[in-house]
Structures are given as structure tokens and as C-alpha cells.
Structure 1
């Protein structure tokens, strides 16, 4: 079993817009030129202060899943869409050959994840998707999956993303997809896995074996990824193409 600790992350931005950049491949603890976890490239755990505007900017060849945990983020994009996104409302930007967007924060601080996945190929058509969750429960909710899956949001890659909200004392069995590697990230709270504590900003995987049952020691929000480690992928992404 491998754990990625909170102290291993970088913070490329600090201040009104603070990013803790989780490079999921660091979990292997190896010297490597590429710190992605297969096509799962970057998890930006962001805190944006009230009143902040991140001006219109371009992404190319990034598949970007926005997961708002706290507050409301106001989205505007080059497709002419303007939408408020808060907890339980999910957004996927499939940037493809070019996609521009802007983010604003109103009166409440926003804490969210922006998850960058490398697409299966370069310069696909850009698109944007939204989904409002039907439940916010302790057990697993499928949010994102490949184009041929039943997931409400599609990523152009062989990756699945679930979330769960266990309360203190709840135990969660971890589902399993044959041929895909599990990666569990703690957005908030704390869980234990066979006595190993995994807190906020931390992650765990189990090489060669499925993850065992986890137990929440605090009320928690966790995200579970299933990743095809051998998938074909584009390295041309604005953020997802970064190696370190």
C-alpha cells in the first residue's frame, strides 16, 4: 500500500487564489520525469477568497473536472455559457483544441478541486457538460466515466471518478474495475485503512491488490479514481501535459 502525504505537495499559487497541486504519481515515491498517475495528471486543490476573479484564459487538450466542495463558483466560457456551480453541481470542461473560461467568486470563499486528465488524443472538439447530483450520501456516487460508460459526465479517457461522504464511524467498501488502478483522495476529513491514517490533501493506492475497506474517523469527503495506467494519451495539454 502506498500513501501520498500532504507535505509532499507544491503550492504554485498562494494568496487570494491558493492552489495545493497534487501530482498523483508522487505516490510511487520514485524518481521519474512524469509525476502523473497514468492519464490522471494533476489534482489542483484550490481555495479562492470572496470577490476573486480569474480572468478568461485558454485551455488546450485538457479534460478538466471541477468539483466544488464549499461556496459557489461563477463560470463563464467561450461557448457563451454562464453558470453558478456549487456543492453537488458538477462540471466537466473537455477543452480539446481550444476552450476559454473565467471563474468568479461571490460573497463566500470557494474550496474546490480541478482535476486534469490527459485525453486519449490531441485536438478533439471542445465541449462542456454539467450534472446536478441526485444525492449526497455516504456511499459511492459515479460522477465521471469514459464515453461508453453510464457516468453522467464523460471524460475522453479510460478513467472513472466517484465521491462519497462517510460520517464518523462509517465504513466503505471500495469497488473494483478489472484492469484499472484505484486511487483514493481525501478532500476533507480523515479515514483509516488497515490502521493507516489518510487525512485532508492525502491519497492512497494499493499496487497489485484492491484497496481494503476504509473507515471514516471524522465526517469526510473522499474521491475515488479508477485509472487505466496503460491508456494512450495526449501529452499536449496546457496543464495535463505537464510532467513535473
Structure 2
């Protein structure tokens, strides 16, 4: 094998999804960016990644929100970034989520829910994510993940998993979701195992991922086994999805 062929074989192949390439909808009360095809935004090249179907970055005006509507056969979670998010559903849950907290609803065979910004003065900013479950017609359920102050400075924290380990919320899919937070000029790695795919969605700050620069709203994906290295420039935050 020629000397440089070994080097080429070791390079992890990645795809970049730039923030400005996302779909965009402005409804006045709602300003939303769609990483994948959603509602009136259709892009056949971006229909999802493995079981990951939706990443919407939503900003909801004070008092605005999504009135009661149905879902089924989808694992839906919201990660609150700024402000607060009030959730109500037909399972009897009524909760108000704060920044850094996650709500995870398994719609299963059918559930009704609503989400509103309860503030009269401050906008709400959150990511809403849909992941396809492993099976249809599951019993609907609801759970939350709240950050542990003792892990606040950990660069990578498991927040969602199929087995609920490390106090993560439980999802009905072979999917692990990590909150990534890095201080300035910090670094974290993630091992991508054979047969799995990783999607990293950057929320704030700037990150170099295996030599490629990501800015807020950008994403990087790979289905190559190997080490994904994230290096920050300034304080950064993102979500990393490890999908079977």
C-alpha cells in the first residue's frame, strides 16, 4: 500500500449541513429553522439521518405557542435554550421547562399535547427533535431530564438513552444523545463505532470538528468508524446523536 493510502484510509468521512442551508419559516409568533424537511419545507436531500427525523430550532414570541394537536409513533423531545416552555398533554402532564432541561414524549399509539411560551415579556428558544421509534403503537409516555449541577462542567453528558443509564431519559430507539459543552479552547472526543452514525448539531460558539469549522446552527454527520474530535473556540454548546 502506498504510504499516503494509509493516511487517506484513516480520514473520517463527514458531511456538513450549514446553518444558512436550513429551511426557514417565520409565522410572526414563531421563527423556525428546519435542519430536515418539515411542514412546507421539503428538501429530498435532507429527509433525516438514520432514525433522526426532525431538528427544528424554534423561537416563540411571548405568549405564543402550539395549541393542542396530535402525534403518534414518534419520540419527541425539546431542549430548552432560553426562556421557558410550558407543556401539557393528554397523559395528564403539565410542566414548565427551564433552560438546560429536556422533556421527552413518546407519542406511541397516540397523544395530544400543547407547548406554549408562558412569559409575557421574554421569547422562548428551544430545539425540538423527532426520532423514529423502533416499534409502532407503543404505550405513550412522558419523562424529563434535568441537568446535575455536579456535572455542569463535564464536556459530554448523556441525556437520552435506550436504557436510562447515568440518569438519562429513556427513548424507544437505539439512540444516545449527549449534551456537549466546552469552555474556550477545550476538546472532547467521541468514538464512532462500526455500523453506527453520529450527528453533531452546534447550538452556540464555534467548534473545529476533525479539521472542519462549525458555526452556530451548523451540523456535522458521519457514518465512518473512528474518533470524532471537537475543539472549541470560545464557550460552545451542542447536541451529539449516536444512532444505530
- From 139, 149, 152, the counterpart of 2:168: 152
User: 1:64 offset after TM fit, Å?
Assistant: 0.4
What's the counterpart of residue 68 of structure 2?
Answer: 56
Aligned to 1:88: 100
Q: Which residue pairs with 2:89 in the alignment?
A: 77
CA contact (8 A) 1:72 1:86 kept: yes
After superposition, what is the alpha-carbon deviation per residue over 1:202-235, rounded to whole angstroms, capped at 9, x for unaligned?
111234233432111121111111011xxxxxxx
Which region of structure 1 is more displaced relative to structure 2, 58-67 or 172-181? 172-181
Match of 1:166 among 170, 182, 194: 182
Partner Cα distance (1:48, 1:20) in 2: 12
- Cα deviation, 1:133-180, whole Å, max 9, x if unaligned, reads 113324111011114755521111111100121122111122444532
Q: With the length of structure 2 as denominator, give the TM-score of the two structures.
A: 0.84
1:28 is matched with: none
Give the structure, 1 or 2, with the largest relative contact order (CA under 8 Å, sep 6 or more): 1
In 2: Cα distance, 1:147 partner to 1:174 partner: 19
State how far apart, in whole Å, the 2-side matches of 1:201 and 1:223 are: 11
Distance in 1, Cα, partners of 2:48 & 2:157? 24
- Equivalent position SS for 2:62: coil
Q: Does 1:18 align with 2:31?
A: yes
Where do residues 193-212 of structure 1 align in structure 2 (5 Å cutoff)?
A: 193-212=209-228
**Number of residue pairs aligned between Structure 1 and Structure 2:** 222
RMSD: 2.1
Q: Which of the pair has more CA radius of gyration?
A: 2
TM-score by length of 1: 0.84
Taking the aligned partners of 2:194 and 2:165, their CA distance within structure 1 comes to 14
5 Å matches for 1:79-118?
Answer: 79-105=91-117, 106=119, 107-118=121-132
1:13 Cα offset (Å): 4.4
Contact 1:43 1:116 in 2 (8 A): yes
Structure that is richer in strand per residue: 2
Look up the SS of the partner of 2:28 in the other structure: coil
**Unaligned 5+ residue runs, structure 1?**
25-30, 229-244
- 1:182 and 1:210 in contact (8 A); partners too: no
